[in-house]
Amino acid sequence: MWEEKMARYQEACAKRKEDLNTLTNMSKKDEESARNLAIRKFSLDILAVADSVQSALRMLDTKANLDTDPQLKALVQGMRDTQKTLLETFERHAFKKFSIFFPSPRFGVFFSKKKKNDNQL
């Protein structure tokens, strides 16, 4: 009789341990999915910033007279430095710039190769 009770308790304990391991694994997967989603959303937002900087520079280069306004020239240089920093950051994280004609400037101008490492898109 005691052996039967002990066997049932051991079986119940093993089942609870298995349930706990399953829950732990599911929690880790959910956490990883949430982190990857946040990284993707941030990446898309920062790509929009890069596109905006590129569009502003393109407009200023064609319409502004940089030789007569030193403040405007400094602003454009600051924007070019910002664009350079963004491009370097993208390349460090496996984003590569490519040139292609899009009918609207709202389309992105970057793509990323999928990496096997964690936290990289």
Q: How far apart are alpha carbons 11 and 22 in whole angstroms?
A: 16
Give pLDDT tens digits for 75-121: 889 999 999 998 888 888 777 666 655 555 555 555 555 555 555 54
* Domain edges within the chain: 2-112
**Stretch 3-21: mean pLDDT:** 93
If one counts every other C-beta atom within 10 angstroms of the C-beta of residue 102, the result is: 9
Give pLDDT tens digits for 19-70: 999 999 999 999 999 988 988 888 888 888 888 888 888 888 777 677 788 8
Q: How far apart are alpha carbons 44 and 111 in whole angstroms?
A: 10
Q: Is 95 helix (H, G, I), strand (E, B) or coil?
A: strand
